[in-house]
Amino acid sequence: MDMSTVQRDLKIPTFDDVKEAQRRLAGVAHVTPVLTSKTANAMADASLFFKAENLQRAGAFKFRGAYNSVAALDPAARANGVVAFSSGNHAQALAYAARLHGISCVIIMPKDAPEMKVAATRGYGAEVVFYDRYTEDREVITRRIATERNATIIPPFDYADVIAGQGTAAAELIEEVGAIDYLVVPLGGGGLLAGSALSARALAPGCKVVGVEPEAGDDGRQSLQKGEIVTIPVPKSIADGALTTAIGRHNFPILKQDVDDILTVSDTQLIETMRFFAERLKIIVEPTGCLAAAAVMHGVLACKGKRVGMVLSGGNVDLKTFGALLDARRA
């Protein structure tokens, strides 16, 4: 797929768009801390840097892309409100961004979305419409509601301003810690990985960019290997934020050009990584947020002696589920 051909059909963001997003987010999004751990370094025999987006507003990196997208709308479009589909983190982020701009927001969520994420989305003022992820098409429902209300659709990952906003997390990481050998990023629909790749290529051109998916949903790995977007059935994994069936069309050209590899990790590895962060770093990271760290800390990515930056993408897991997952592994 030739990049110039794709750009005639889609708006593919660049690092200039990431920099513009940084300007919009300044003083609004948290500049989240970069955490380190001697124990983690010893486990991986490498120098590890964890960008703690679980401490971001609304509990995940998604706030960056959501706020940037709402802020980028012209005033007339913004006044008509926004609509999106999401399993949770984008839902909360867009609802919060809409509230900060004083506009309406409708979120289409799967019936099995975590209760905590549904409650938080409603708490930020959004209207929630449920659908069955296994029998209904969320995009069809979203388009219908957007047409009825003349609202703007802000997709969770397949959208240029979302991608640019997500790229600001990796930009902050690299600007803080300096040169890195690897940038490892969770992968669902590809918005975070695409944005991160834009930042890495501009700020740390020598580093390798690696995405990490759950084993049950390796559409990204298959797509990168095949050179075209591969669609899979709805995967089942505890990484609920990465249960996508295909990489976004805006994301894939960036991934194909700038991502070096895509790896997978098991649910068991995710749970063990969640436990590590809770016990050693005293932070709660949701399963999806642990994807990158699990690949590094369980040796899926060979990075001995390297400087490795990772994004902990979110912390929105209800405590009942969190405790049950950790207890199940102890049994």
Question: Model confidence at 233, in pLDDT bands (50, 70, 90)?
Answer: very high
Task: Indicate the pLDDT class of residue 155, thresholds 50, 70 and 90.
Answer: very high
| 11 is a catalytic site residue | no
Sign of CA dihedral 268, 272, 277, 279: positive
Whether 123 is catalytic = no
Q: Is 62 a catalytic residue?
A: yes
**Is 218 marked active-site?**
no
Residue 294: both structure tokens together: 């699990």
Q: Is the pLDDT of residue 274 over 90?
A: yes
- Respond yes or no: is residue 86 known to be catalytic: no
The catalytic position among 53, 65, 69, 87 is 87
Domains defined for the chain, CATH in brackets: 3-61+159-330 (3.40.50.1100), 63-153 (3.40.50.1100)
For residues 126-150, give the mean pLDDT: 93
Quote the pLDDT of residue 8. Answer: 43
Catalytic option among 20, 53, 59, 62: 62
The secondary element (H helix, E strand) that includes residue 111 is none
Q: Is pLDDT above 50 for 232?
A: yes
CA–CA distance, 161 with 174 (Å, rounded to integer): 21
Known catalytic residue at 196: no
